Amino acid sequence: MFLNTYLKYHRAFFKFLLLSNLVLSFFSCSEEASIQSYSIPSEYNGPIVSWKLPDNWGENPDLSGPMAGSFHIKTKDGPQGRIGVMPFREQVSTVDVANMFGREMGYPTFTESSLAPMLQEKEIGSRTFEWLTLKAKSDPVSSSTRTALLALLRQEGETWLFPFIAEQKLVLKESENFIQFLNSCTLRSANNKPIIARSPPSENRINKPSPPRPTRDNPWTWEIPPTWEDGKASSMRIASLKVADKNGSKLDISVTTFPGDVGGLLANVNRWLGQIELSPVDQSSLEKYCSPFTIAGNPGHFIEAYGEKDALLAGALFLGKESWFFKLLGNRTLAEKEKGNFIEFLHSITPKPKQ
């Protein structure tokens, strides 16, 4: 049933893939394997890729279509989960990828605006990945909920998708190994070999890229604490700042804006709680993490949550036609130390004088 539904919903988007083999390969179970390194087989015609697997990961031998690699987690109950390496053409949009997995998990069709608040940027080594976590809507609180962790990397005219599909508890347990795996990947374009889609000719083969998200001028001014520095620029952010200490602990501070209320306060708080591995809450428990807070003369919200290792501090401002999020995320100990500076930062936000 799952595979048939997958084929039904996504054949249009994946006409350039050998979809039946791809789905069977990626979502089916596999036997445990002990190989710890991998070389591209001769039938693979795409870019060159190599990696180092964690000790408790195994390799799936059943590659097909444009799959460059397929893996599972070794557990006492046998092979679990599925991790893939999938190269695509540059024109494959993040929204299309999200819908490919999201519809199977009960999500309505994503648009750029509805997907934006769920999308993160994650620096791994010297590269920046788009990072998206989707939990099946049937029971999003259960640790056995099917979860899709999607990491996308765009480089040298290509898009690389690394999907990790498993129960939520396994995804959380293996998140550090997944990051180390991504960091170990060496990706090089094959000489004179574009990413070739293996599918019969079709008039509807061309996938138009989604239009780029328009840049937005910053209407605010603020004062930056002396311990903060400029962070890595991003098209998804109005501003990006960072904090680090001598122990290597880090904090990421971002200022983002989205049209509308992007799901409202509860949806965004639950999304942020997931980022620090805390369970979602319902409306009646929202005050556990939220309190009223004035931002730039407007009624807003202050969000404060602490996980086992990481913490979240945020200011949320809903202005009718748009939402503003001022967020600090990272090491819990450093976040506790920087809490006063973050609150002062929120208090310092004022509208820019009109020209």
Tens-binned pLDDT, residue by residue, of the chain (355 aa) = 333 433 333 333 343 333 333 433 444 433 333 333 343 343 444 456 788 899 999 988 766 555 678 899 999 888 999 998 888 755 678 888 888 888 878 888 888 888 888 898 888 888 899 999 998 876 655 556 889 999 999 886 778 899 999 998 899 889 889 998 999 888 765 544 444 333 333 334 334 444 444 456 788 999 999 999 998 776 678 899 999 999 899 999 999 888 777 778 888 898 888 888 888 888 899 999 999 999 999 999 999 999 999 999 999 999 988 889 999 999 999 999 999 999 999 999 999 987 6
Phi first, then psi: what are they for 42, rounded to 5°? Answer: -65, -30
Whole-number Å distance between alpha carbons of 320 and 323: 7
The per-residue pLDDT for 66 is 58
The per-residue pLDDT for 297 is 94
The per-residue pLDDT for 340 is 96
Mark whether 304 and 156 lie in a shared domain.
no
Q: Can you give the pTM of this predicted structure?
A: 0.53
The per-residue pLDDT for 213 is 44
The per-residue pLDDT for 229 is 92
Residue 68 near residue 86, CB atoms below 8 Å: yes
What are the E-state strand segments in the chain?
Answer: 48-50, 57-59, 69-75, 78-89, 120-124, 127-135, 146-155, 158-167, 186-188, 220-221, 229-230, 239-244, 250-259, 290-295, 298-306, 310-318, 322-331, 350-351
Mark whether 226 and 172 lie in a shared domain.
no
Mark whether 182 and 246 lie in a shared domain.
no
Q: Is residue 207 part of a domain?
A: no
The per-residue pLDDT for 339 is 96
Q: Is residue 261 part of a domain?
A: yes
> Which tokens hold the place of 271?
């999304």
Mark whether 103 and 225 lie in a shared domain.
no
Q: Is residue 100 part of a domain?
A: yes
Whole-number Å distance between alpha carbons of 171 and 296: 39
Contacts of 99 (CB under 8 A, 6+ apart): 13, 109, 110
The per-residue pLDDT for 89 is 59
Q: Is residue 201 part of a domain?
A: no
> Which tokens hold the place of 140?
């999003």
- A 10 A CB-CB count for 35 gives 13
Burial of 150 (0-12, 13-18, 19+ CB in 10 A): buried
Mark whether 109 and 176 lie in a shared domain.
yes
Based on the structure, what is the number of domains in the chain? 2
Domain that holds residue 272: 220-351
Mark whether 319 and 244 lie in a shared domain.
yes
Residue 58 near residue 72, CB atoms below 8 Å: yes
The per-residue pLDDT for 241 is 93
The enclosing domain of 343 has a CATH number of 3.40.1000.10
Task: Give residue for tokens 């590269």.
Answer: 127
